[in-house]
Amino acid sequence: MNYDLKTILLSVSTFKENSDKSKQVKKRLLFDQAPVGGLSIKWFWLTFISMPFIEYAIIFNPIIFPMLGIAQAIVFFVVFLSIVMILIYALYAFNNRSVIDRIKPMWEGYFPEIELNLILTSSHSPYREFFNEYSLIAAEGLSDEALKSKLDDAFTRMQEDNSDLLEAMNRNKS
């Protein structure tokens, strides 16, 4: 599938309105599949939040609870809650991986020299200011070509600012 640059960026970022009514772009913790033809992030959050309550309703209902007793019910709840937490993490990782797999080919078409993982990483990277730069650019409401041009300029500026880090990363790769 072909996605435009705004769609790619919308799946990994969100707009947060500041107190002064300006908008700031933030990286999503859980990437949104809706812009790239998948489930909306709201369904994932609903699933994540409802899982412990569903587990509680299953274990502590009037039919199961008398069969288990208080001690076993609490033990089952704690054990199954840890399984639910592992399941939530697995769904989170699977969702983010599938979004990255969908948008990566199109990202490489727009910016072949810049790795998408370096943009989305939480650690120190040459492009750690990407979302701040994108906040300034997104407020202008540009077309895809103009957005790409402005982002190219921003990437060049970030590469110049972090040239030492880029050199070290390139030396480490070879």
Reduced to 3 states (helix: H, G, I; strand: E, B; else coil), residue 78 is helix
pLDDT at 27 over 80: yes
Q: DSSP secondary structure string, 53-120? A: HHHHHHHSSTTHHHHHHHHHHHHHHHHHHHHHHHHHHHHHHHHHHHHHHHHHHHHHHH-TTS-HHHHH
Q: What does the pLDDT average to over 1-17?
A: 87
Instruction: Give tens-digit pLDDT for 109-129.
Output: 999 999 999 899 877 888 888
Cβ–Cβ contacts within 10 Å for residue 63, how many? 7
Q: What is the pTM of this model?
A: 0.80
Q: What does the pLDDT average to over 138-151?
A: 87
**5-12 and 144-161 are packed helices; what angle lies between their axes, rounded to 10 degrees?**
60
Contact by Cβ (8 Å): 35, 9: no
| CA nearest neighbour of 120 among 131, 109, 134 | 131
Beta pairing class for 23-27 and 13-17: antiparallel
User: Given this model, what pLDDT does residue 162 score?
Assistant: 87
User: Given this model, what pLDDT does residue 21 score?
Assistant: 65
| Structure-block tokens of residue 114 | 């810049």
